[in-house]
């Protein structure tokens, strides 16, 4: 493009939208800058610019543009409040999400399309989950934290009763309350909402969410379900450090609970194999979760003191021929 004056805002908008949809963010940003030069007070252009800046990790600029968009159109368009919530912390983030929820509730009440109503319901539930997570973390010491978690998740269940991640988060709350049996029941309900869906189903919880689910399953001692989820995740993508760490951690726990030395040895050998894969992948991918890597090494050291390796250890490449059995032992055949 040459000569900014040759283009109108109507010319630029399709280019912005197309490049955002194609995840071509540097190019989308170039068009956004041209659009802002033509229409610096257009709320939608400001929002698009902020959205692209988030993807480009220009967070300070994104926040400023979202705030400008909100100042221009405070009571229309929920998305900018969702973005501002992501760019904010603690009570300010909650306030942004709450305003977005309020606008989405209004939009849903006025909407006549059942499919669009469902989309909005899921977005509302997701925002309420974000608000809950803030009270579980950054605002956990606030006196109203527990009450707010309950309120938000109850509202989320009412608006989107089939939203699996709502129940997964509810299980986290129950675990924080040391109500482990209830947490296990809620996790099972969450899993049943998606376990039979195809991997291409857009309502399937994302990969990272299901990895987090495995951690929760280990906390409630649901080992068979943990292996089932890990197997499914492996089939989708077996080049993920956390996947193999969780495999190893699961086998390690099984070894701790083993009834015989032979069972412990089998589980811990499997655990060690998986943990070595995790370390190898971390080198390849530049993985930077130091605490997870440190725990991985501690587990290997602990295993080696009880089950010495039969030969000098080498970190192995991920094996595409790793197979799982579905018998009661949930044993991995490597």
**Furthest CA-CA distance within the chain:** 79
pLDDT above 90 covers a percentage of the chain that reads 87
Contact 292, 241 (CB under 8 A): yes
For the chain, give the number of residues.
334
> Which residues have CB under 8 Å from 282's CB, separation 6+?
241, 293
For residues 309-315, average pLDDT: 61
The predicted structure's pLDDT at residue 323: 45
For 216-252, the pLDDT digits (tens) are: 999 999 999 999 999 999 999 999 999 999 999 999 9
If one compares 327 and 277, the residue with the highest pLDDT of the two is: 277
State the chain's mean pLDDT as an integer. Answer: 91
Instruction: Kindly state the average pLDDT of the residues 208-215.
Output: 96
168-191: average pLDDT = 96
Question: Does the pLDDT at position 271 exceed 80?
Answer: yes
Residue labelled with tokens 């030069």:
37
- What is residue 206's predicted lDDT score, i.e. its pLDDT? 93
pLDDT of residue 50: 97
Mean pLDDT of 29-43: 95
Q: How far apart are CA 118 and CA 281, in angstroms?
A: 39
Q: Which residues are registered as beta bridge partners of 333? A: 323
Confidence of residue 312 (pLDDT cuts 50, 70, 90): low
- pLDDT band, very low/low/confident/very high, at 309 (cuts 50, 70, 90): confident
Residue 6 confidence (pLDDT): 74
Instruction: Please give the pLDDT value at position 330.
Output: 44
Residue 242 and residue 284 in contact, taking contact as beta carbons nearer than 8 Å: no
pLDDT digits (tens, 9 = 90+) for 115-126: 999 999 999 999
Across the range 51-59, mean pLDDT stands at 96
> Is the predicted pLDDT of residue 158 greater than 80, yes or no?
yes
pLDDT for the residue 3: 46
Give the per-residue pLDDT at 311.
Answer: 64
Residue range 291-304: mean pLDDT, rounded: 96
**pLDDT of 331 above 50:** no
Mean pLDDT of 260-281: 95
Cα dihedral 76/77/82/85 (nearest 10): -30
Q: What is the dihedral of CA 154, 51, 211, 101, to 10 degrees?
A: 0
pLDDT at 310 over 90: no
pLDDT of residue 134: 96
pLDDT per position as a tens digit, 92-111: 999 999 999 999 999 999 99
């Amino acid at each position: 493009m040459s000569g900014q004056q040759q283009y109108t805002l109507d010319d630029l908008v399709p280019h912005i939208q197309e490049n955002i949809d194609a995840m071509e963010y540097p190019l989308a940003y170039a068009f956004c800058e041209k659009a802002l030069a033509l229409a610096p007070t257009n709320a939608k252009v400001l929002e698009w610019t902020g959205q692209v800046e988030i993807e480009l990790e220009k967070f300070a600029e994104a926040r400023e543009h979202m705030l400008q968009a909100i100042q221009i159109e405070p009571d229309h368009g929920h998305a900018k409040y969702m973005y501002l919530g992501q760019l904010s912390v603690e009570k300010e983030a909650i306030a942004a999400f709450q305003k977005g929820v309020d606008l989405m509730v209004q939009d849903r009440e006025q909407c006549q399309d059942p499919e669009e109503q469902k989309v909005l319901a899921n977005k509302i539930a997701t925002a309420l989950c974000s608000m809950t997570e803030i009270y579980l973390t950054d605002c956990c010491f606030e006196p109203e934290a527990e009450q707010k978690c309950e309120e938000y998740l109850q509202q989320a269940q009412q608006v989107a009763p089939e939203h699996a991640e709502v129940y997964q988060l509810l299980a986290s709350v129950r675990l924080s309350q040391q109500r482990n049996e209830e947490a296990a029941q809620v996790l099972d309900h969450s899993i049943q909402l998606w376990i039979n869906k195809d991997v291409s189903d857009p309502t399937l919880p994302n990969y990272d969410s299901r990895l987090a689910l495995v951690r929760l399953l280990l906390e409630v001692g649901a080992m068979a379900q943990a292996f089932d989820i890990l197997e499914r995740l492996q089939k989708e993508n077996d080049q993920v450090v956390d996947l193999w760490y969780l495999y190893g951690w699961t086998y390690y726990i099984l070894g701790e609970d083993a009834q015989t030395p032979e069972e412990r040895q089998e589980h811990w050998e499997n655990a060690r194999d998986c943990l070595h894969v995790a370390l190898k992948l971390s080198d390849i991918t530049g993985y930077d979760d130091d605490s997870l890597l440190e725990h991985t090494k501690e587990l290997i050291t602990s295993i080696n003191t009880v089950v010495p390796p039969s030969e000098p250890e080498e970190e192995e490449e991920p094996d595409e021929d790793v197979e799982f059995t579905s018998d009661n032992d949930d044993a991995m055949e490597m």
